[in-house]
Amino acid sequence: MPVNYTTPSAQQLHPVAGVRLGIAEAGIRKLNRRDLTLIELAPGSRVAGVFTQNRFCAAPVQVCKQHLATHDIRALVINTGIANAGTGEPGLAAARATCAAAAQLLGIEARQVLPFSTGVIMEPLPVERIAAGLPKCQAALRGDAQAWHDAAHAIMTTDTVAKAASRQISLGGRTVNVTGISKGAGMIKPNMATMLGYVATDAAISQALLERMVKEAADASFNCITVDGDTSTNDSFVFIASGAAGNAEIIDAASTDYAALRAAVTAVAAELAQAIVRDGEGATKFIEIAVDGGRDHAECKAVGYAIAHSPLVKTAFFASDPNLGRILAAIGNAAQAHDTLGDLDVTKVKLWLGNTLVSEHGGRAASYQEADGAREMAPAEIVVRIDLGRGNAQAKVWTCDFSYDYVKINADYRS
């Protein structure tokens, strides 16, 4: 079970005007499983996205990037079970065929459809099953909150729970909704995790600012998480603005409306991102790593990731073993990932576990007792704080522990 996370009910989600969703059981990889989602967007909707930086990026990612360049997207198709990655030219043809099948149903052009896939890599995508399932998705299209709730379940793979989040704000006297869903539990690392995330709003915002906001939201959420340090081939985070709320179009990044919408979108994205970590494969603990006192944000993040990616640190957290020298070693190793840390003065570094000072002046803090460390490592939620003692920058990274079940889940993933 995930660490302190429960899927919101449909009643806790806000529908987004101009966005309809429908799901179906298409038998893409397994029978009796909701595995196909169609999202239909009203004319005039604007869409932006950020994607994996894995050089073996999946065929649907490549097609998405091409279609997004047209700035005229009317539908999204999402399948689970098969990732359509590592599939070469046939995979690209399959992604394009998926777009064509959806376009024919909706009376739009194939370039107006974005395809997304998640699941097993290097297996062919059964396009015929997707094409057969899409009419069922179309028949099920709805714009209510229940449709969002259903879609959150339909995009799952190794997830144990569906992930959704919602906010409601006021812009210029108009009520604006922001709702999102995501999936992910393993192969999670920053620069987009192995995840799919979709956030929609009915606010009106220019295309240029939409593209800026999706990057800002990703950097404050999905690019702050890691489960196992593996960057997927299929990671995608898409931000949709239907404009149906009737607010004055946001065209100024310095405006209060932009700030308010960005805060709501970032809050939804952060909730979804943290839910992914809380549902990390086999996870029993949620860990926040807060690094401050750095020269810049990048080196703070490098330290946070060095700790979060260390199997030795993560297994110690699973066992509640206060073998905290592993954290110091990880901090020292961060210099390999970020050049400016090469001159890190370890005598100025301080480390806290919860409220307990563990290390200062290059070694164990005089006040630290191992019983204190064991007590701080016992809860399901843990905060690790590091002060680098060399500046005013800060960053946070969210991760989880490594348990026996992580190996079991991934060893049996294709079965």
Query: What is 233-286 written as a DSSP string?
Result: SS-EEEEEE--TT-PPPB--TTSHHHHHHHHHHHHHHHHHHHHHHHT-TT---E
Q: Residue 339 has what pLDDT?
A: 80
What is the rounded end-to-end Cα distance, in angstroms, of the chain?
Answer: 21
Q: Does residue 152 come out as left (phi exceeding 0), alpha (psi in the -120 to 50 range) or beta? A: alpha
Q: What is the pLDDT of residues 51-110, one digit of tens each?
A: 987 778 899 999 999 999 999 999 999 999 999 999 999 999 999 999 999 999 999 999
Q: Is 10 helix (H, G, I), strand (E, B) or coil?
A: helix
Distance CA 249, CA 257 (A): 9
Parallel, antiparallel, or unpaired: how do β-strands 286-294 and 381-387 relate? parallel
Which tokens go with 234?
Answer: 């299929």
Distance CA 331, CA 338 (A): 11
Residue 187 above 60 pLDDT? no
Q: Residue 53 has what pLDDT?
A: 78
How many CA atoms does the CB half-sphere of 32 hold within 13 Å?
0
Dihedral (C-alpha) 64, 251, 220, 387: value to the nearest 10 degrees?
A: 150
Residue 188 above 80 pLDDT? no
Mean predicted confidence (pLDDT) in 272-286? 90
Q: Residue 231 has what pLDDT?
A: 60
Instruction: Report percent pLDDT > 90 for the chain.
Output: 81
Vertex 74 angle, CA 182 and 33, to 5°: 40
Q: Residue 385 has what pLDDT?
A: 98
Q: What is the pLDDT of residues 247-275, one digit of tens each?
A: 999 999 999 999 999 999 999 999 999 99
pLDDT confidence tier of residue 281, bands split at 50, 70 and 90: confident
- In contact, 195 and 189? CB cutoff 8 Å: no
Q: Residue 409 has what pLDDT?
A: 74
Q: What is the pTM of this model?
A: 0.92
Q: Residue 193 has what pLDDT?
A: 40
Distance CA 229, CA 246 (A): 42
Which tokens go with 19?
Answer: 């966005």
Distance CA 397, CA 382 (A): 12
Q: Residue 186 has what pLDDT?
A: 57
pLDDT confidence tier of residue 192, bands split at 50, 70 and 90: very low
Residue 33 above 80 pLDDT? yes
- DSSP-assigned letter for residue 129: H
Largest pairwise CA distance in the chain: 71
Q: What is the pLDDT of residues 325-336, one digit of tens each?
A: 999 999 999 888
Which tokens go with 164?
Answer: 């959704």
Of the listed 194, 201, 231, 399, which one is catalytic? 194
- In contact, 147 and 22? CB cutoff 8 Å: yes
- In contact, 185 and 281? CB cutoff 8 Å: yes
Which tokens go with 391?
Answer: 């500046």
Q: Residue 302 has what pLDDT?
A: 93
Query: What is 328-385 written as a DSSP string?
Result: HHHHHHGGGT-GGGGG--GGG-EEEETTEEEEETTEE-TT--HHHHHHHHSSSEEEEE
Residue closest to 143 by CA, chosen among 299, 57, 287, 38: 38
Distance CA 327, CA 310 (A): 8
- In contact, 171 and 154? CB cutoff 8 Å: no
338 against 12, higher pLDDT: 12
Residue 245 above 90 pLDDT? yes
Active site residue 194: yes
Residue written as token pair 């979709």: 198
Q: Residue 190 has what pLDDT?
A: 44
Distance CA 170, CA 202 (A): 11
Q: Residue 229 has what pLDDT?
A: 61
Mean predicted confidence (pLDDT) in 108-129? 95
Instruction: Report percent pLDDT > 70 for the chain.
Output: 95
- DSSP-assigned letter for residue 109: -
